[in-house]
Amino acid sequence: MIRELMQAGFRLSGERDPRLVHGLAWAVVEGLLAAAPYPLLYLLLRAVFGGTATPGTALAIGLALAACVALRIAAARVGMPLVFGGAYAMMGQARLRVADHLRRLPMGWFARQRGGDLGARLTSDLELVENLWSHFLGIFVSGLAMPAFLALFLFWLDWRLALVMLAGIPLALLALAWTQRAAARSGARLMAASAAAQSALLEYVQGIGVIRGFGRFGEAFRRLEAALDEHHAAMLAAEIKPAPWLVAYGFLLETGYVSLVLAGSWWLAAGTLAPQVLVAFLVLALPVYRQLFEVGLSTVLLRFARRALARIEQVLAQPALPEPAQPRVPQGYAITFEDARFAYDGAPVLDGMSCEIPANGLTAVVGPSGAGKSTLVHLIARLWDVQGGSIRLGGADLREIGTDALHRHVAMVFQDVLLFSGTVLDNLRIGRPGASREQAIEAARRAQAHGFIMALPQGYDTVLDEGGASLSGGERQRISIARALLKDAPVLLLDEATASVDPSAEAEIQRAITELAKGRTVVAIAHRLASVRHADRILVLDQGKLVEQGRHADLIERGGLYARLWAAQQQARDWELTISNRKGD
């Protein structure tokens, strides 16, 4: 099982740290030194029973015992840091591998995951494996080596008594197997309950405002309480259900001690066994049994580690977006859709999209809700791959450019802005980590963000809350635009960047976007058609199909879907103005 756990760990980290193997070798040496005092004690017993013991003999054996202790401490001081260093380095590499793999997965995979379950795999599962590797593996190997060396010594003393001492092991191992089966069943339930509890707790905390606003505190709390109750019950089951079999394992293991006493007494009375040998067996059998029981208990924990490893490996087994062996370089920044098709779970979202988005111009994407606007932009960013047809940038298929190379050419400003815990400056530098402070400030000025940033307590060095909760929606959006400006990518994707901000913020963001769009290929999803009426080209989507394209005036003249959407928005605007005027009167 140890070998299997190590192989799985090597697969998880993608490398073999030699320090771990060397540290485990020193753990075996430590186990040998832990067993060494017992043969020395036997030599002392034999001298005492044989009448040959002298103060010099006792002193020599005492010094040898002290040397064993000192050498054991020295072996531990050498071996344990190697185990810790190797284990932490490998698990750190494993975390980086998982994070890098997640970055390359299509976004649709995340949509199918429960947040709590994925969070549990990346936190508690990885932490369990890390703790077992760092704090447990060396101790386990040392603890297994010590009784093995003692058993060899006892076989050397008297093979008959050694066999009697170990007579209960086969039945004990059978009980241990049942212990592991019970632990595996309850462990599976515990991991599922833990993921469900984390999901329920995350949902409850994130939705607390909605819950309070709609007066559904009781029902939401009951759902959370039910998930936590199941988690509590699963934890109890994980502790209780294997317990009887674990007790049976210990009992059957130590039945050999009773047999040892009876057989040893019989052979002693018959004169075929020396007294010092029997005493040595009676003394040494106890640490052997104790260590074997600890090893058996540890194998139950290893079962949990194997399950946790399997859950993490399931994430790594998810197919990432394919990467080209020799990435192509786009020749220009025009974007071409050629019969592009994409579906979510079999439901078509884009159905045979064919169009060209010219370079160095503003192309707006409009249409009713569910028309496929966001999907179109996400496909350009290669958050997913098309399932039919192709999308080309500068004549090169996005799949032939490669994700990392593509993202150097593309900047994104989405409606839901994600800011990370850290300073304002750190958030601005996300797309360009090597940018200077002056370059970041200049980008913020062009994004109309410098004023409110300087009003923060420490200006650009102000540490933001998680998600930038202390900033308004418009302020977060302008920081997002500033970091897109700082990245200075030739292709800019805007996903309804002003849909959820107030009119005054919208005006500033529109000025920032105008600055950002200069000299770039811009694809902008628009909810308010008035904001894109001056676009170089407008693509009108409906139910995943491109139904119209052209400039604003041409589309109005055709009287199609765009003209109807425009008329509806103008009517709504006139109604709002009428209501506003009545309030003013």
- Burial (CB < 10 A; 0-12, 13-18, 19+), residue 12, is buried
pLDDT at site 337: 93
Q: 402-406 contacts: CB < 8 A, separation 24 or more?
A: 402/323, 402/324, 402/327, 403/104, 403/321, 403/323, 405/327, 405/329, 406/381, 406/382
For residue 327, being part of any structural domain is answered with: no
pLDDT at site 582: 54
Q: Are residues 183 and 289 in the same domain?
A: yes
Q: What are the Cα distances from residue 82, in Å, to 3, 68, 95, 133, 137? A: 18, 21, 20, 12, 12
Q: Are residues 167 and 310 in the same domain?
A: yes
For residue 287, being part of any structural domain is answered with: yes
For residue 330, being part of any structural domain is answered with: no
For residue 321, being part of any structural domain is answered with: no
Q: Are residues 342 and 485 in the same domain?
A: yes
Residue 348 phi, psi dihedral angles, 5° rounding: -60, 135
Q: Which residues of the chain have pLDDT under 70?
A: 1-6, 108, 111-117, 206-220, 304, 467, 497-509, 512-513, 515-516, 572-585
For residue 361, being part of any structural domain is answered with: yes
Domain count, the chain: 2
Q: 445-448 contacts: CB < 8 A, separation 24 or more?
A: 446/482, 446/485, 446/512, 446/515, 446/516, 447/478, 447/479, 447/481, 447/482, 447/485, 447/512, 447/515, 447/516, 448/478, 448/508, 448/509, 448/511, 448/512
Q: Are strands 388-393 and 537-542 parallel, antiparallel or unpaired?
A: unpaired
pLDDT at site 176: 82
Q: Which domain holds residue 377?
A: 335-584
Q: Are residues 152 and 97 in the same domain?
A: yes
Q: Are residues 301 and 412 in the same domain?
A: no
Each residue's pLDDT tens digit, 299-352 = 777 776 777 777 788 888 888 888 888 888 888 899 999 999 998 777 788 888
Residue at which a domain ends, from 316, 350, 366:
316
Helix extents (H) in 36-54: 37-50
pLDDT at site 81: 86
CATH number at residue 27: 1.20.1560.10
pTM of the model: 0.66
pLDDT at site 454: 92
Q: Which helix (H) or strand (E) holds 549?
A: strand 545-550
Q: Are residues 281 and 396 in the same domain?
A: no
What is residue 119's DSSP assignment?
Answer: H
Q: Are residues 214 and 352 in the same domain?
A: no
pLDDT at site 404: 81
Q: Are residues 253 and 367 in the same domain?
A: no
For residue 200, being part of any structural domain is answered with: yes
Q: Are residues 401 and 543 in the same domain?
A: yes
For residue 323, being part of any structural domain is answered with: no
Q: How many CB atoms lie within 10 A of CB 170?
A: 9
Cβ neighbours for 90, distance < 8 A, ≥ 6 positions apart:
9, 10, 12, 13, 15, 17, 20, 133
Residue at which a domain ends, from 255, 284, 316:
316
Question: How many Å apart are CA 86 and CA 79, to the nearest integer?
Answer: 11
- Burial (CB < 10 A; 0-12, 13-18, 19+), residue 70, is exposed
For residue 246, being part of any structural domain is answered with: yes
CATH number at residue 452: 3.40.50.300
- Burial (CB < 10 A; 0-12, 13-18, 19+), residue 222, is exposed
Q: What are the Cα distances from residue 348, in Å, to 254, 366, 539? A: 66, 18, 18
Residue at which a domain ends, from 261, 283, 316:
316
Q: Are residues 339 and 295 in the same domain?
A: no
Q: Are residues 55 and 138 in the same domain?
A: yes
Q: Are residues 426 and 543 in the same domain?
A: yes
